[in-house]
């Protein structure tokens, strides 16, 4: 690891600690050349498949897009950030376990809708109205009637 002060490449690890969530390791290091102490973090590099958009374009999976869509749907609803993060994490685990190279946006959207359906019906309808591109009020009403029957 290159020292941020003198750019020396020799150092020793003086302390290692696993993060609270277990996703990274915090290391305190000391430069062998100048004695400067600094902190580094080590974590597993995650692989995400490409996302196939409705129009056929492909782009990298962006977890922030999932979060922003959920946040928009949950605006002014009693849904905390921890619940939103949990949905995002579950979707990421699901995608990584079932899709190697590419995943359609329709799959991601359905997973978000399933999670929102269980979490908050109003947020679910908000997300569904954008995701399914409702053209008129009757489509919106059909979705709400479907909530009464318990189907997403």
Q: What is the pLDDT along the chain (152 residues), one digit of tens a residue?
A: 899 999 999 999 999 999 887 888 999 999 999 999 999 999 887 788 999 998 999 999 999 999 999 999 999 999 999 999 999 999 999 998 999 899 999 999 999 999 998 999 889 888 888 877 777 777 767 777 776 665 55
Domain-located, residue 6: no
Same domain for 128 and 55?
Answer: yes
Residue 2 domain flag: no
Is residue 39 domain-shared with residue 102, that is, in the same domain? no
- Distance between CA atoms of residues 119 and 74, nearest Å: 10
Looking at the structure, do residues 78 and 32 belong to the same domain, yes or no? no
Residue 25 in any domain: the answer is yes
Residues 33, 103, single domain; the answer is no
Q: Are residues 62 and 128 in the same domain?
A: yes
Residues 31 and 67 in one domain: no
Boundaries of domain holding 121: 50-149
Q: 105 and 132 in one domain? A: yes
**Residues 85 and 119 placed together within one structural domain of the fold:** yes
């Amino acid at each position: 690891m290159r020292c941020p002060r003198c750019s020396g490449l020799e150092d020793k690890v003086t302390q290692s600690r696993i993060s609270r969530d277990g996703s990274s390791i915090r290391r305190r290091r000391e430069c062998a050349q100048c004695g400067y102490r600094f902190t580094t973090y080590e974590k597993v590099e995650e692989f995400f498949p490409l996302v196939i958009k409705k129009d056929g374009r492909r782009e990298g999976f962006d977890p922030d897009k999932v979060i922003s869509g959920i946040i928009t749907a949950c605006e002014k609803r009693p849904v905390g950030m921890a619940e939103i993060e949990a949905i995002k994490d579950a979707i990421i685990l699901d995608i990584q376990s079932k899709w190697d190279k590419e995943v359609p946006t329709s799959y991601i959207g359905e997973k978000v809708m399933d999670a929102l359906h269980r979490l908050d019906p109003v947020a679910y309808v908000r997300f569904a109205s954008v995701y399914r591109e409702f053209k008129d009020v009757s489509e919106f009403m059909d979705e709400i009637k479907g909530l009464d029957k318990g189907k997403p």
